[in-house]
Each structure stands twice: as structure tokens, then as C-alpha cells.
Structure 1
Amino acid sequence: MKRAVLAMVAFGLCGIVSPAQAQTGDWGAANLAVLKRWVAMAPMDALPAPSDSALKKAEASGDQAAITSAADDLALRLARMHLLGCATAAERKGWNIEDSDKAMDLPGLLKGSLQAGTLDAFFVSLRPRDPEYAVLQSAYASETDEKTRAAISRNMERWRWMPISLGADHVLVNAAAFEAGLWREGRKVGTWKVIVGKTSTPTPVFNTVITGVNLNPWWEIPASIVRESVGALVRRSPSTARARGYVWEGGRYRQKPGPTNSLGQMKLVMPNRYSVYMHDTPSKNLFERDVRAFSHGCIRTGDAIGYAATLLEGVKTREEVDAIVASGKSTVVDLSRPLPIYIAYFTAVSDGQGGVKILPDVYGRDTRISTSHGGCV
């Protein structure tokens, strides 16, 4: 069921209301007071307070139709800011997480909240629901250092680019933290160290679904890596290439399954247009580094077999996973149901004690996001 429909049920609506119908909402004194309070509170979410000059002018005229029109416009502008953020297209460049919230019927939801007297709930429901956002919001309110406040503000904005809800079950990879987390039924059940792309080949920001786990995978070697190293090795030293498992067949370069395979002994089945995957690696020593930006873009995962077994709980036991790995045979095991995965980038995160820690901006992406709110003012 669409999020918008769920939200409309929460507000007591019977169906979708068109934008034109939203113009007839009840903007009495009580609802106007709530709206003005939310406009004044916008800076608490690191948002600009939208101009209320048109509403003030309408109120001074005493024309109820003008008041309704101005209040609708102001409320919807503020709602879109909470829901989608204020960044320009240039600031969002490279953020490729699909957000179905853009299709939400805000005019219809606004009308329903006005009729039900739940305007506060309407605005609250448009904020990101992940607990990380609440931690950032709290820290932003009390932080006095301008540089730190700017970092928190940018990351609050990034959260507005995410879906309001990531789902009760999901994986979130934070490339800036070199970490992946798994949530089940709304609770974080595990964290794994990851290695991400080098600064020259950064891990992209995107979302997809995990449908299965490939144990003992073949590596389909990307053309860029063939050009960089593998192609020359196969041509110049065939015996060395064979010893490393590299083969040329069917017009493509591949690497056989095995403990020296560049994908290690596990790769997630997570279709995406970037050919970026979570997988194992034979270079386990790199997980001991604090800054782990070493790959060509893929996400190498610490304790990869343990991670795979956790994803496959209810489908395969750890013993069964280990047996498949020991067999050396390339095997794909489907998850019980697709699991959303978000590959994101947050440089201000919870420190686990109610505060916030600022991470190094390894990819230099923070400076792309202005704190002047160019997309909203």
C-alpha cells in the first residue's frame, strides 16, 4: 500500500482529495495558529522559515477566500520543505536514492488534517522517521559551534532526501562511516564494517533490493579493471593468470570461485545499474584500518559469511551456509523476501550516547550542499 494512502487513513480520509478541493479547507483561528507556530519552528529543523507575508496581507484584508488561499500555499510550501528538503538539483547531484514520497498527495492530506484538527500531526508525519534524524535535530538545537551546526544541517537535509520510512526491515550502508547496519522489525540487529570506493572511484549513492546471496561467486570482471590490470596479465602471463583463477571465455574475463577470488566467498544479489555489490574479500587485513576507502566502488563486507547467514535466517542455518561455502560450488540462495538496501552518505551520525559525531568527509561531498537553502528561498 502506498505511503500516501496509509497517511490518509491515519488522518481519517475516505479517499484521495484533489488539489482544487484542498482550497476549501477550514482555516479558522486554531489552525492558523498551528500553521504560524510551525513556520516559526522551521529553523529547528535546519530549514528557513517560509515567508508569511501573503498570509498577513490576506488576514489584514479580512477576505476569507484570500486567507484560505494564502494559508494553503504557505502550509504546502512548508510541507514540501519537510518532506523533500531545500537543496537544488545541483546540490542533489549524485544522490540516486529513489523517493516515492514525491508522489504524496500533500493537498489532500492537508485538507484532511484541517478537517480533523490534526495539523500538528500532518507536519510531524512529514519529518524523516529514522531515529538518526531526531538525534541530529536535538544536537542541532543545542550546538553552538557554527561549523558543527553546518555539518549537522547538511546531514538533516540528506535525511529529507531519503524516503520518510526506510521500512521495518532494511539494510543501510553509510559509506562515510564505513559501516552497514541491518534492521529487522524496526530494530537494529547487526552492524558490519565495510570497505568502500577510493576517492577516485567512489561508491555511488543509490537504493535497490537484496534478493539473494551468491556463495562461492564467479567474478565478472568489469571492463575498467580489465583495462587497468587483468587483461594485460592474461595476455602476458597466462600461467600466472590461471593460478589466480582468471579465465577468458565467451568474450568476457572472469575469475573462478575460491578463497582468492576478488569477491571472496560471498556476493549479494542486488540488481542495480552501477554494478556495485556487497561482497566478501580475501584482503581481510584492510578491515583493521579506520579509513576504509580502497575499492573500485563495490562494498567489501567484514565477516561476510556471518552477514550472509544473518540475511538468510529462516532460509538456511549457519551450518548449511558453511557447508555450501566449503563445497566450493557457486550457489545462489534466495532470501525469503526482497530486502531494501540503501547505499547512502552521512557525515554527521549518532554517537550512540544521545549526541552526534562528525565523520571525515572522505568524498568531499559536504561542500556541495549550501546552508543558504537556495532551493526554498
Structure 2
Amino acid sequence: MRSSRVLFALIALLGAGTQAQQPAQNWTRQSLSQLRSWVSAAPDDALPRPDNSALERAIAGGNPAEVDQAASDLALRLAQMHLLGASSAAERAGWGIADTDRSIDLRGQLAVALAAGRIDDFFAGQRPQHPDYAVLRDAYRAETDPAKRQVIAHNMERWRWMPLALGPDYLLVNTAAFEAVRWRGGQRLGTWRVITGKVSSPTPVFSAMVTGVNLNPWWNVPNNIVRESVGSLIRRSPATARARGYVWSGGSVRQKPGPQNALGRMKLVMPNRYSVYLHDTPSRDLFEREERAFSHGCVRVGDALGLAENLLQGTRTRAEIDAIVASNRSVTISLAQPVPVYIAYFTAGTKADGTFAMFPDIYGRDKRMAQLARAGLADCSSGRARA
């Protein structure tokens, strides 16, 4: 499957800029049959079945050029749903992971697939390739409870919002499951418990690039936390604030590295517009709780030094990491290769053993999606276009 996608992408790339000169698609009886099968099977992926009436009219009319046009239009519409999802912009609001798949040349890939007689591979190649999606798809088909089916459908759709190619080596944080997983070659390389944002300060959905590990980090205290707690501590008891490592000047507050530092002993270097990071914490007792939404938005990692060791394999040994931590010096170590990190939200997915699981909708995003989807259907039924 992966080799098929690479083949289609390569040939489409070589043909980029020549779409106007491409010959007719020349749909055969077999390829039309395969297209009809994929249209009928769209609900198995929790997608709406696209309207194929234009294709059926063209076939009944017997004009090959009209059949080619209608079939290609239908195939591209269905492929785009598999690749990008079928949700409105309102349903996707707050999903900050870059929508890079819109640049994929589906028309070029379709031409290659038709020429090679590989329509099935063309459609299958647009589905999310992550192992969790396959588990969700099986669970969706087997589930009989309408409410649970809807939750699974929401999460299948979220996978379509993820990049098709996540990379050979990446971190995936699922804030709903309170875990971070390092994936490599389609396999779990390690799993860590995490603490995520409170309902009042939810962890955003976004992606970034991890370029290094900061051991014994300084903490630049955000203004909202200064207003909420640290500022009052400084005013009320400056000596206590200094004992806890806080230093302040010109309205800004920082906290020195050390055992009391709110970032603990490790922070990942992962620049992003939210100023949200994966880091350690001195409050490790909270990791024993089942639901762990306690932070101001950042992702606190259980066994954070274990994650640092995992990311720095081949660069620093655990003994070297521990020696730096013991020194209380703030040291940043670059990764041998940057690693993408995806901070996502899946209320249905898999456990560490790969079996299906559902997680609490801590931020109410499933509920919001369901409400917006119902509103969209109502708009459609009253003749208004869906956003």
C-alpha cells in the first residue's frame, strides 16, 4: 500500500504542470465497478456516501467522454473525503495541526491509477495509514450502540485531519488518553503518562518539531500564572518566593533550575506559537490518577528523564543525563535528528497492547462536533449550503 502511494506521488510529481495536456481518463468497465464499490463502502469509513447520480446518468447516456468526466469527478470527490475528511470548517475549529495534504495531486494520482488498473490502491492510499485508524474502522463496523458509533466516527474523522505522512519517527500526544507515545516504523517505541490542561485551560491541538532536550530548564513564568498565583506570593512573601527559586525584574518572573522548578528537570525544545511544551514536573503524585487534566495547558510527562533518554539515544547516555541533572546547570542537548510531535485529541483509539479503547471527552469536543454536524444537516435540509 505504501509503495503504491509513493509510485502515484512520484509519477504525479513528474507530470505536475501538465494537467491541461492530460488525456481523457478512459474509465473501463472494471474501474467503474471498483469506483461504485468504493462509493457504496464509504459509510464503512464513517463517511457520507457521495451522490453518484451524475455518473449513472452518463453511463445510461452512453457517451464515453461524459462517463470519463463524471467518473473522475466522483472519484476525486470521494478520494478527497478519505484524505481530508468531510467536516465543515466549524467542526474543525481549534485543530491546529497543519493541513499539508491539500497539496497532494489527487488528479495526477488518479490518472496513474487508471493507467495501471489500480483504482483500489488509489482509494486505499488516501485513508489514514496509522494503525489506530484500522482499529477504529473495525470497531466502528462492529459497534451497535449509536452513541458509541458516533464517537468512533468523530475520531476516524480526526485521523483524516492528521497528515497522511506523519514521518518515520514521531511523538504523538493524545490529551484525551493522557499519554504520549513515540512511534517508529509503525510501532510503539515507548509510552509515557502525561498530565494535560485543565478544562478551563485546555491543551491546544498543534504540531511542532522537537529539536533538543533542555535539562534543568529555567521557567519563564507566563503572565497569567503571575497574575493567578506567583505574583501574589512575591508580594506577600518575597523571601519565600526567592527560596522557591523565583527571580523578578521589570515585571517579568523566572524560576531557577532545581527540584522546585515547575518544569521539573527536563523540557523539550519544540518552538510553537502556543508556548506549550512537554516537560517534567515536581508534582509526580498526580500521575497516579486516572484522569489527569491539571495543567495550565502544557503537557507534563511522567518519567520525563526516561523520555529524554529515549530521544537522546546515541547522543547522551542515561548516566550523562543524570550527571547534568545533578549539577543543576541548565544544559540544552540537540537531538541527532529532529522529531515531529503531534499534540492531538482522540477519545477513541488503542491501548498500549493495540486493542480498542475509549477515553473521556474531557474538553467536550465530541459533543461540539455532534452539535455542529446536526446543525449542518439541518442547514442542508432547509436548502442552505453547509459551511
Give the TM-score taking structure 1 as reference length.
Answer: 0.95
Give 5+ residue unaligned stretches, structure 1: none
| Structure-2 residue corresponding to 1:322 | 322
User: Using the alignment, how far apart are the partners of 2:66 and 2:213 within structure 1?
Assistant: 58
Q: State the Cα distance separating 1:13 from its structure 2 match.
A: 7.4
CA RMSD of aligned residues (A): 2.1
Q: Which residue of 2 aligns with 1:349?
A: 349
Alignment match, 1:121 = 121
1:353-368 maps to which residues of 2 (within 5 A)? 355-368=355-368
- Give runs of aligned pairs for residues 281-296 of structure 1, distance below 5 A: 281-296=281-296
Per-residue deviation, 1:100? 1.2
The answer for the alignment partner of 2:55 in structure 1 is 55
Quickly say closer, same or farther: Cα 1:44–1:297, change in 2 above 3 A.
same
Residues 84-104 of structure 1 deviation map (CA, whole Å, 9 limit, x = unaligned): 001111100100001311100
SS of the residue corresponding to residue 239 of structure 1 reads helix
User: Identity percentage over the alignment?
Assistant: 57
Secondary structure in 2 matching 1:133? helix
For 1:336, the equivalent position in structure 2 comes to: 336
CA distance 1:107–1:183, change in 2 (3 Å): same
Kindly state the Cα deviation for residue 252 of structure 1 after the two structures are TM-superposed: 1.7
Q: Do the aligned residues in 2 keep the contact of 1:13 with 1:112 (CA within 8 Å)?
A: no
Alpha-carbon distance between aligned partners in 1 of 2:190 and 2:298, rounded to the nearest angstrom: 20
Give me the whole-angstrom Cα distance separating, in 1, the residues matched to 2:45 and 2:102.
19
What's the counterpart of residue 163 of structure 2?
163
C-alpha distance in structure 2 between counterparts of 1:4 and 1:213, whole Å: 37
Name whichever of 18-27 and 4-13 sits farther off: 4-13
1:34-113 matches, within 5 Å, as 34-113=34-113
TM-score (norm 2): 0.92
Give the 3-state SS of the residue equivalent to 1:177 in structure 2.
coil
Partner residue in 2 for 1:185:
185
Shift, 1:368, TM fit: 2.1
Of 269-278 and 242-251, more deviation after overlay is shown by 242-251
Measured in 1, the distance between the counterparts of 2:357 and 2:311 equals 29
Cross-structure match for 1:308: 308
Is contact 1:87–1:376 with CA below 8 Å preserved after alignment? no
Distance 1:352 1:286 in 2: 20
The correspondence of residues 223-234 of structure 1 with structure 2, limited to 5 A, is 223-234=223-234
Q: Letter of the aligned partner of 2:311 in structure 1?
A: L
The answer on whether the counterparts of 1:23 and 1:72 sit within 8 Å (CA) in structure 2 is no
Counterpart secondary structure, 2:135: helix
Structure 1 residues 120 and 248 mapped into 2: Cα distance closer, same or farther (>3 Å)?
Answer: same
CA distance in 2, matches of 1:293, 1:12: 45
Q: Describe the SS at the equivalent of 1:42.
A: helix
TM-aligned CA deviation for residue 168 of structure 1: 1.3
Q: Deviations over 1:3-29 (max 9, x none)?
A: 999352566874326554556112121
Asked if structure 1 preserves the Cα contact closer than 8 Å seen for 2:349 and 2:356, the reply is: yes
Partner amino acid, structure 2, of 1:113 = A
Distance 1:136 1:354 in 2: 11
Distance 1:21 1:143, change over 3 A: farther
Task: Identify if the C-alpha distance between structure 1 residues 353 and 257 changes in structure 2 by more than 3 Å, giving closer, same or farther.
Answer: closer
**Partner residue in 2 for 1:264:** 264
Residues 272-326 of structure 1, C-alpha deviation per residue, up to 9 Å, x if partnerless?
A: 0000000000001000000000000000000011111111001000000000001
Correspondence for 2:298: 298
Local SS of the residue matching 1:276: coil
Asked if structure 2 preserves the Cα contact closer than 8 Å seen for 1:18 and 1:108, the reply is: no
**Amino acid paired to 2:259:** P
3-state SS of paired residue (2:176): helix
The yes-or-no answer on 1:151 pairing with 2:146 is no
The answer to whether the Cα contact below 8 Å between 1:17 and 1:108 also exists between their aligned partners in 2 is: no
Residue 249 of structure 2 aligns with an amino acid whose one-letter code is E
Long gaps (5+) in structure 2: 378-384
Query: Matched residues in 2 for 1:152 and 1:190: separation?
Result: 25
Say if 1:214 and 1:154 are closer, same or farther in 2 by CA, change over 3 A.
Answer: same
Q: What is the SS of the residue equivalent to 1:109?
A: helix
Q: Does 1:196 align with 2:166?
A: no
Give, in angstroms, the shift of residue 231 of structure 1: 1.6
* 1:247/1:255 contact within 8 Å kept: yes
8 Å contact 2:11–2:112 — kept in the other structure? yes
State the SS of the aligned residue for 2:253.
Answer: strand
C-alpha distance 4-196 of structure 1, shift in aligned 2 (>3 A): farther
Letter in 1 for 2:36: K
Match of 1:235 in 2: 235
Q: Is the 8 A contact 1:83 1:126 kept in 2?
A: yes
Given that 1:76 and 1:107 are in contact with CA atoms closer than 8 Å, whether structure 2 keeps it comes out as yes
Give per-residue Cα distances to partners, 1:236-269, cap 9 Å, x unaligned: 3211110111111365210000000000010000
Return the alpha-carbon distance in structure 1 between the equivalents of residues 261 and 192 of structure 2. Answer: 21
Q: Which amino acid aligns with 2:312?
A: L
Distance 1:353 1:303 in 2: 20
The count of corresponding residues between Structure 1 and Structure 2 is 375
Match of 2:381 in 1: none
